[in-house]
Amino acid sequence: MADRTASVRKPRLAVFKFASCDGCQLQLLDACGQLMQLADRVEIAQFLEASSRVDPGPYDLGLVEGSISTAEDVERIQAIRRDCRFLVTIGACATSGGIQALRNWGKIDEFLSAVYASPETIDALATSTPIADHVPVDFELRGCPVDPHQLLDVVTSVLLGRRPKVPSQSVCVECKSRGTVCVAVARGIPCLGPVTQAGCGALCPTHNRECFGCYGPAEAVNLVSLTGFYEQQGASREHLTRLVRGINGYSEAFRCESDRLQEEPDGVSTRERA
Amino acid sequence: MTEIRRFNVKPLARVEGEGALRVRVQGDAIEIAEFNIYEPPRFFEKLLVGREVREVPDITARICGICPVAYQMSACHALEKALGIAVTPEISQLRRLLYCGEWLQSHALHVHLLHAPDFLGFESGFAMAATHPGLVENGLKLKALGNRVIEVIGGRAVHPINVTVGGFYKAPSATEIRRLVPELEWGLETCLSLVASVASFETPSLEVDYESVALQHDSDYPMTDGMVVSSGSARTDSLRIAVEAYAEHFAERQVPHSTALHSLRRGTQTPYLTGPVARMNLSRDRLPPRAASAAEACGLEFPIRNPYRSIVARAVEMAAACELAAGIAREATADIAPFRIDYEPRAGSGCHATEAPRGLLYHRYRLDDRGLVAEAEIIPPTSQNQAQVEEDLRGLLPSVLRLDDAEATRRCEMLIRSYDPCISCATHFLTLSVDRAAGEREDGTE
Task: Kindly report the nearest CA distance between residue A204 and chain B, in angstroms.
Answer: 7
Q: What is the pLDDT of residue A143?
A: 97
Q: Residue B223 domain-assigned?
A: no
Contact B162 A207 (CB under 8 A): yes
pLDDT at residue A69 tops 50: yes
pLDDT tens, position by position, A147-186 = 999 999 999 898 888 888 898 899 999 999 999 999 999 9
Q: Looking at the partner chain, which of B127, B254, B424 has a beta carbon nearest the beta carbon of A20?
A: B424
Q: Residue B318 domain-assigned?
A: no
Q: What is the pLDDT of residue A117?
A: 66
pLDDT at residue B439 tops 50: no
Judgement on whether residues A99 and A6 belong to the same structural domain of the protein: yes
Residue at a domain's end among A129, A160, A191: A160
Residue pairs spanning A and B at CB distance below 8 A: 170
Q: B64 is in which domain, residue-wise? A: 4-203+330-442
The average pLDDT across B207-233 equals: 97
Residues in chain B with CB shorter than 8 Å from the CB of A129 are: none
Residue at a domain's end among A106, A140, A160: A160
Residue A254 three-state SS: helix
The count of structural domains within chain B is 1
Question: What is the rounded distance in angstroms from the CA atom of residue B227 to the CA atom of residue B224?
Answer: 11
Q: A187 is in which domain, residue-wise? A: 171-273
pLDDT at residue B40 tops 90: no
Q: Residue B224 domain-assigned?
A: no
Task: Kindly report the nearest CA distance between residue B234 and chain A, in angstroms.
Answer: 30
Residues in chain B with CB shorter than 8 Å from the CB of A212 are: 58
Judgement on whether residues A187 and A144 belong to the same structural domain of the protein: no
Task: Kindly report the nearest CA distance between residue A274 and chain B, in angstroms.
Answer: 32
Contact B13 A32 (CB under 8 A): no
The average pLDDT across B108-120 equals: 94
Contact A145 B129 (CB under 8 A): no
Residues in chain B with CB shorter than 8 Å from the CB of A99 are: 42, 47, 59, 62
Judgement on whether residues A46 and A117 belong to the same structural domain of the protein: yes
Least CA distance to B110: which residue of chain A?
A50
Per-residue pLDDT band at A274 (split at 50, 70, 90): very low
A253 vs B9: which has the higher pLDDT: A253
Judgement on whether residues A24 and A80 belong to the same structural domain of the protein: yes
Q: For the whole model, what pTM was predicted?
A: 0.93
Residue at a domain's end among A141, A160, A179: A160
Least CA distance to B414: which residue of chain A?
A52
Torsion of CA B312, B405, B382, B211, to 10 degrees: 60
Q: Residue B19 domain-assigned?
A: yes
Contact A39 B126 (CB under 8 A): yes
Least CA distance to B258: which residue of chain A?
A122
Q: What is the pLDDT of residue A2?
A: 43
Contact B65 A214 (CB under 8 A): no
Q: What is the CATH number of the domain that holds B360?
A: 1.10.645.10
With beta carbons less than 8 A apart as the criterion, state whether B192 and B94 touch.
Answer: no
Judgement on whether residues A15 and A120 belong to the same structural domain of the protein: yes
Q: Residue A165 domain-assigned?
A: no
pLDDT tens, position by position, A185-244 = 999 999 999 999 999 999 999 999 999 999 999 998 999 999 999 999 999 999 999 999
Contact B16 A144 (CB under 8 A): no
Q: What is the pLDDT of residue B38?
A: 74
Q: Residue B78 domain-assigned?
A: yes
Q: What is the pLDDT of residue B435?
A: 35
pLDDT at residue A134 tops 50: yes
Judgement on whether residues A195 and A111 belong to the same structural domain of the protein: no
Contact A17 B124 (CB under 8 A): no
Least CA distance to B16: which residue of chain A?
A49
Q: What is the CATH number of the domain that holds A134?
A: 3.40.50.700
Per-residue pLDDT band at B444 (split at 50, 70, 90): very low
Judgement on whether residues A136 and A23 belong to the same structural domain of the protein: yes
Task: Kindly report the nearest CA distance between residue A34 and chain B, in angstroms.
Answer: 11
Question: What is the average pLDDT score of chain B?
Answer: 91
Task: Kindly report the nearest CA distance between residue B280 and chain A, in angstroms.
Answer: 27
Residues in chain B with CB shorter than 8 Å from the CB of A115 are: 41, 43, 45-46, 427
Judgement on whether residues A20 and A69 belong to the same structural domain of the protein: yes
Burial label, A6 (beta-carbon count in 10 A; 0-12, 13-18, 19+): exposed
Displacement of CA A231 from its chain's centroid (Å): 27
Q: Residue B267 domain-assigned?
A: no
Judgement on whether residues A210 and A101 belong to the same structural domain of the protein: no
**Terminal-to-terminal C-alpha distance of chain B:** 9
With beta carbons less than 8 A apart as the criterion, state whether A250 and A68 touch.
Answer: no
Judgement on whether residues A140 and A180 belong to the same structural domain of the protein: no
The count of structural domains within chain A is 2
Contact A24 B170 (CB under 8 A): no
Least CA distance to A20: which residue of chain B?
B424
Q: Looking at the partner chain, which of B12, B18, B147 has a beta carbon nearest the beta carbon of A17?
A: B18
Residue A219 three-state SS: coil
Contact B424 A27 (CB under 8 A): no
Residues in chain A with CB shorter than 8 Å from the CB of B72 are: none
Mutant choice from B62, B372, B379 vs A, greatest count of A C-beta within 10 A: B62
Judgement on whether residues A109 and A225 belong to the same structural domain of the protein: no
Task: Kindly report the nearest CA distance between residue B342 and chain A, in angstroms.
Answer: 15
Q: Residue A166 domain-assigned?
A: no
pLDDT tens, position by position, B345-358 = 999 999 999 999 99
Is this complex scored with an ipTM above 0.90? yes
A98 vs A116: which has the higher pLDDT: A98
Task: Kindly report the nearest CA distance between residue A12 and chain B, in angstroms.
Answer: 15
Residues in chain B with CB shorter than 8 Å from the CB of A20 are: 65, 424
Q: Residue B352 domain-assigned?
A: yes
Judgement on whether residues A178 and A132 belong to the same structural domain of the protein: no
Q: Residue B167 domain-assigned?
A: yes
